[in-house]
């Protein structure tokens, strides 16, 4: 399975070039929120694009740009289903009750597909919190691997909004110092960020038949559950470790073959040590050698879009030969000892890289990409 | 004593039909309401104001208790949730609180995504497979079949919840499925 096209938008701007330049700058995109009133909130920072962009417009644009990037013809698009990762239609919570049944995620997904000429048959909407997009990518790869599809367009989108901001603030998980510091001593939580991403995933044969050059391979994937708690990760990362192991096995590679890990790295007290433990369990000694960063420290936590935005960051960085920094680091936490990329982006050309995501419900995903 | 009348469930019939289309074998199933006795679902500790999570937990528990044979200790069970609108009750309450400047309960944060109740179920029933939520019944059963085919799960618990928005009652259904008997292991 190969990726033949990608598109993104984030607080660094629209387009994959802006995203790569932003994360390689090492400068986090967090700033005081101006999109809505945060006067009553404990924390007032997020990583947002200017203004109040609309989710439907942004996701449709990204999915269309990914198709353009993959040089998909109108007839190619018309045969390609869309898997979309979103929280839901942003309009539903304030709609009159009579209108709510028409504002489900499926009509929204169908509208995105129609807006960029993709097949309206076979659309699927993923609403599995922070593993939504990564699960969609794993499913797309698995379907193509098993011959159930030739090509799937996977998109995801989250734009920082007043309701999720209020919920995360009420849950006291936002970083009140305005910085996300994954795996660091003194970390104080996560910050939300705008994120929109789309990738075209297809079989190597399909890409070859169209003479479309692959930008990366989806080499392996794993998806597991912790069976531990409604919203806390297993403290030793047992579920995430199984996802990492499954992804490596599918890719047919050893832990030592990984040249970079874009960690889930939420920057919260419980999640980071659990993830470090998972990496030690799954990778053994290699966990101390492979360069790790969490790009959430730069573009923020983009919720349902995380899996696709962070996969795009990972593949762009691997292709560029520069690994993004783990920003905000203050000092070592003994429970989170990893080979973090600190101070500045690291020159390296990993043959294989991994992107990790975890979510409420103990849901875990691991995606391995390889350079073509 | 008058026997309780069974209630027809379109949702459960749709799950069975989608399971058959995906060539899955049904181990057990349940729905809400199932009889006239199903009024309000039992409260679920930590979940407030909305029936979404209590209903999901109730029908899933019924289906899991009805499985024909005990779950093999090493079996990996996926949790796939299906919902056309999500927890629209919670979403509406949060929006109203934000717009009026009222305090938002921290408990609403923890139930803001369907994954939370899936995590409750997974911990209660030791379900160690993938956790996912998708928008349609066919998509849910197709995903269950794919997870089993792809060896990320041995079986899948697929649960559909539809909260009443414009009348009628809340409805839910659950189905526990495995691969076809003639499936070749990868």
**A218-370 and A2-210 share a CATH fold:** yes
Q: Please indicate if any CB of chain A lies within 8 Å of the CB of B117.
A: yes
Q: What is the DSSP letter of A358?
A: E
A218 in Cβ contact with A352 (< 8 Å): no
Q: Stretch B133-143: mean pLDDT, rounded?
A: 96
Tens digit of pLDDT for each residue in A16-31? Answer: 999 999 999 999 999 9
For A102, which residue in chain B has the nearest alpha carbon? B85
Position B172 in a domain: yes
In the DSSP assignment, the letter for residue A131 is G
Question: Is this model's pTM higher than 0.90 or not?
Answer: yes
**Per-residue pLDDT at A9:** 98
Structure tokens at B66: 């009805």
* β strands within B4-154, DSSP E: 25-32, 77-82, 131-134
Residue-level pLDDT at B183: 58
Q: How far does A127 lie from chain B, in Å, by closest CA?
A: 5
At residue B64 the predicted structure's pLDDT band, cuts being 50, 70 and 90, is very high
How high is the mean pLDDT of chain A?
97
CA nearest neighbour of A306 among A365, A255, A248: A365
Rg (alpha carbons) of chain B, rounded to whole number: 17
pLDDT band for position B74 (cuts 50, 70, 90)? confident
Predicted confidence (pLDDT) at residue B2 exceeds the cutoff of 60: no
Say yes or no for a CB contact (<8 Å) between B92 and A93.
yes
With CB atoms and an 8 Å threshold, state whether A225 touches B127.
yes
Q: Residue B106 is part of a domain; what is its CATH number? A: 3.40.47.10
Of A88, A129, A365, the CB nearest to B115: A129
> A361–B113: do the CB atoms touch at under 8 Å?
yes
CA pair distance A74, A279, nearest whole angstrom? 43
Q: What is the mean pLDDT of residues A231-259?
A: 98
Is A218-370 in CATH node 2.40.50.140? Answer: no
State the sign of the Cα–Cα–Cα–Cα dihedral A311, A312, A313, A318. positive
CB neighbour list of residue B70: distance below 8 Å, 6 or more residues apart:
none
Rounded CA-CA distance A206/A201 in Å is: 10
CA of B167 vs chain A CAs: smallest distance (Å): 10
**Distance (Å, rounded) from C-alpha A191 to C-alpha A188?**
10
**Which residue of B57, B74, B79, B109 to mutate against A (max A Cβ within 10 Å)?**
B109
| φ, ψ (nearest 5 deg) of residue A157 | -155, 135
Which residues are CB-contacts of B8 (< 8 A; sequence separation ≥ 6)?
none
Q: Is A6 helix (H, G, I), strand (E, B) or coil?
A: strand
Contact status of B109 with chain A (Cβ, < 8 Å): yes
Enter the tokens of residue A43. 């924390």
Q: What is the pLDDT of residues A98-139, one digit of tens each?
A: 999 999 999 999 999 999 999 988 999 999 999 999 999 999
Burial status of residue A140 (CB atoms within 10 A of its CB: 0-12, 13-18, 19 or more): buried
CB contact under 8 A, A142 and B150: yes
Residue B155 CA to residue A363 CA, distance in Å, equals: 16
Q: Where are the domains of chain A?
A: 2-210, 218-370
B169 contact A CB<8A = no
State the total domains in chain B. Answer: 1
What pLDDT does B4 receive?
65
Average pLDDT over residues A264-280: 98
What's the domain range around B69?
A: 10-178
Residue B5 forms part of a structural domain: no
The pLDDT value given to residue B168: 81
User: What pLDDT was estimated at residue B71?
Assistant: 72
For residue A225, give every residue at least 6 positions away whose Cβ sits within 8 Å of its Cβ, in sequence order, or none.
A239, A361, A362, A363, A364, B78, B79, B118, B119, B122, B127, B128, B129, B130, B131
In angstroms, the separation between the Cα of residue A223 and the nearest Cα of chain B is: 5
Using the predicted structure, report yes or no on whether residue B3 has a pLDDT greater than 60: no
Q: What is the pLDDT of residues B10-52, one digit of tens each?
A: 889 999 999 999 999 999 999 999 999 998 999 999 999 999 9
With both helix axes pointing from N to C terminus, report the angle between A55-69 and A105-115 in degrees, rounded to the nearest 10. 40
Say if residues A276 and A337 touch (Cβ distance below 8 Å): yes
Q: What local confidence, expressed as pLDDT, does residue B8 receive? A: 67
Residue of B25, B124, B46 lying closest to B79 (CA atoms)? B124
pLDDT of residue B1: 44
Q: What is the mean pLDDT of the segment spanning A296-311?
A: 98
SS3 B100: helix
The beta-carbon neighbor of A127 closest among B117, B120, B135 is: B135
Q: Give the max Cα distance, chain A.
A: 58
CATH superfamily name and code, A2-210: Thiolase/Chalcone synthase (3.40.47.10)
Residue B186, pLDDT score: 46
B149/A171 Cβ within 8 A: no
Q: What is the pLDDT of residues A168-185, one digit of tens each?
A: 999 999 999 999 999 999
ipTM, two decimals, is 0.96
B184 pLDDT above the threshold of 60: no
CB-CB neighbors (< 8 A) of B136 in chain A: 106, 124-125
Tokens, residue B98: 């934000």
Q: Which residues pair with A154 in a beta bridge?
A: A83, A199
Chain B, 36 to 65: residues with Cβ < 8 Å from chain A are: 46
Note the pLDDT of residue B181.
Answer: 64
pLDDT over 70, % of chain B: 92
């Amino acid at each position: 399975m190969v990726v033949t096209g990608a598109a993104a938008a984030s607080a660094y701007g629209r387009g994959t070039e802006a995203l790569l330049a932003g994360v390689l700058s090492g400068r986090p995109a967090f700033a005081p929120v101006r999109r809505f009133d945060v006067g009553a909130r404990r924390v007032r920072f997020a990583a947002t694009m200017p203004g109040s962009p609309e989710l439907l417009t942004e996701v449709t644009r990204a999915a269309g740009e990914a198709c353009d990037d993959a040089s998909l013809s109108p007839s190619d698009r018309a045969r390609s289903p869309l898997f979309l990762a979103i929280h839901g239609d942003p309009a539903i919570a304030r709609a009159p009750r009579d209108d709510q049944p028409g504002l489900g995620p499926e009509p929204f997904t169908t509208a995105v597909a129609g807006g960029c000429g993709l097949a309206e048959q076979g659309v699927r909407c993923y609403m599995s919190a922070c593993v939504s997009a990564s699960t969609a990518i794993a499913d797309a790869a698995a379907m193509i691997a098993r011959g159930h599809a030739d090509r799937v367009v996977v998109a995801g989108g989250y734009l920082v909004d007043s309701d999720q901001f209020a919920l995360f603030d009420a849950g006291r998980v936002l970083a009140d110092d305005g910085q996300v510091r994954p795996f660091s001593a003194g970390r104080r939580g996560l910050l939300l960020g705008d994120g929109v991403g789309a990738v075209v995933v297809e079989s190597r044969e399909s890409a070859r038949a169209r003479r479309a050059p692959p930008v990366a391979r989806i080499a392996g994937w794993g998806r597991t559950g912790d069976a531990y708690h409604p919203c806390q990760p297993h403290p030793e990362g047992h579920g995430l470790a199984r996802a990492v192991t499954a992804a490596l096995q599918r890719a047919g590679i050893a832990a030592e073959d990984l040249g970079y890990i874009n960690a889930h790295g939420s920057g919260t007290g419980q999640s980071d040590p659990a993830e470090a433990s998972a990496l030690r369990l799954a990778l053994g000694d290699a966990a101390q050698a492979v360069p790790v960063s969490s790009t959430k420290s730069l573009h923020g936590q983009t919720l349902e879009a995380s899996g696709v935005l962070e996969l795009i960051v990972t593949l762009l960085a691997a292709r560029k030969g520069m690994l993004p920094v783990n920003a905000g680091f203050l000092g070592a936490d003994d429970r989170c000892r990893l080979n973090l990329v600190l101070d500045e982006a690291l020159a390296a050309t990993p043959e294989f890289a991994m992107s990790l995501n975890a979510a409420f419900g103990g849901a875990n995903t691991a995606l391995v990409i390889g350079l073509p | 004593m008058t026997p309780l009348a069974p209630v027809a469930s379109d949702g459960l019939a749709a799950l069975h039909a989608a399971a058959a289309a995906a060539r899955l074998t049904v181990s057990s199933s349940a729905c809400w309401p199932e009889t006239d006795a199903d009024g309000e679902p039992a409260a679920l500790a930590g979940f407030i104001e909305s029936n979404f999570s209590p209903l999901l937990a109730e029908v899933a528990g019924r289906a899991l208790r009805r499985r024909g044979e005990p779950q093999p200790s090493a079996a990996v069970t996926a949790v796939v949730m299906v919902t056309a609108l999500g927890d629209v009750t919670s979403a509406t309450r949060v929006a109203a609180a934000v717009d009026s400047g009222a305090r938002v309960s921290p408990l609403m944060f923890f139930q803001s995504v369907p994954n939370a109740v899936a995590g409750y179920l997974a911990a209660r029933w030791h379900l160690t497979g993938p956790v996912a939520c998708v928008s349609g019944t066919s998509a849910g059963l197709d995903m269950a079949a794919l997870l089993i085919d792809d060896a990320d799960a041995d079986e899948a618990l697929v649960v559909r919840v539809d909260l009443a928005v414009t009348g009628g009652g809340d409805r839910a259904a659950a189905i526990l499925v495995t691969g076809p008997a003639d499936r070749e292991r990868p």
